[in-house]
Amino acid sequence: MRNLLYITILSISLGSCGGGGSDPTPPPVVNTAPTVPTLALPVNNSLCTDNVLNFTWNASTDAEGGVITYEIQVAKNTSFSPVSHTQTSTTTSKSITLEKGIAYYWRVKATDSKNASSNYSSTFNLYTEGVGITNHLPFSPVLVGPALNSVQTTATVNLQWTAFDVDTSDTLTYDVYFGTVNPPTAIVSANQSVSSLSRPVTASTKYYWKVTVKDNKGGQTVGQVWSFTTD
């Protein structure tokens, strides 16, 4: 009798410690955005003799295995404002007809079936050759430094950019605009041949600057406005 009582008490004790009940509800699956596409063709800085272009990029991946849709944007400036063409595709290519004799910039982003989007890809540029074109305008300058909207802590800031012209024999020069108004109107250096310029700055001030790139055949392209703040 004593052994039977012991076994009964032990069974009740084990039952109370076993947790019992239904299994806990698993946490919901968090949807993640697809990876950022990488651009393929036309290659960056292309001179395109045909204005009907097949844009291609490398496929993104989605961790949840969702269906991916791509959005391609084509514009006439690096700020994509306004956008000249916006197209969507479920494949990694899209054919778009562009104007002739124009510098274009393009980028792609990926969106999954739950509407989560990647960042836009890096931006490529191209030039569609026009009929009888003898000179192509330079591409818009590309910012190197200081980073857009960054905070600078030194008394002198080195402005840096790059520029490209499909007419590789052209000589490029630069007019640099710099100041505290947006957009900057004062040219602080004209017709310089190097793609950098050091400027003294004052603390606790926001500065704006832009670069106009010119070739030796009279062509010029005005860059977008960049800015930074001093500490």
Span 152-192, pLDDT tens digits: 999 999 999 999 999 999 999 999 999 999 999 999 999 99
Query: Tokens representing 70?
Result: 């791509």
Same domain, 177 and 154: yes
Query: Which of 128, 157, 178 is the last residue in one of the domains?
Result: 128
Query: Which of 66, 99, 128 is the last residue in one of the domains?
Result: 128
Mean pLDDT of 51-63: 96
Q: What is the dihedral of CA 62, 67, 73, 74, to 10 degrees?
A: 100
Amino acid at 29: V
**83 alpha-carbon distance from chain centroid:** 14
pTM of the model: 0.71
Task: Give the bridge partners for 52, in sequence order.
Answer: 97
SS (H, E, C) 132-180: CCCCCCCCCCEEEECCCCEEECCCEEEEEEECCCCCCCCCCEEEEEEEC
Same domain, 88 and 147: no
Nearest C-alpha neighbor of 228 from the set 156, 144, 147: 147
CATH number, domain of 93, equals: 2.60.40.10
200 located within any domain: yes
Number of domains in the chain: 2
Cα–Cα distance for residue pair 103/174, rounded to 1 Å: 18
Nearest C-alpha neighbor of 112 from the set 181, 196, 34: 34
* Tens-place pLDDT, residues 5-48: 454 554 544 454 445 556 677 777 789 999 999 999 999 999 99
Q: Which domain holds residue 162?
A: 142-230
Same domain, 112 and 155: no
12 located within any domain: no
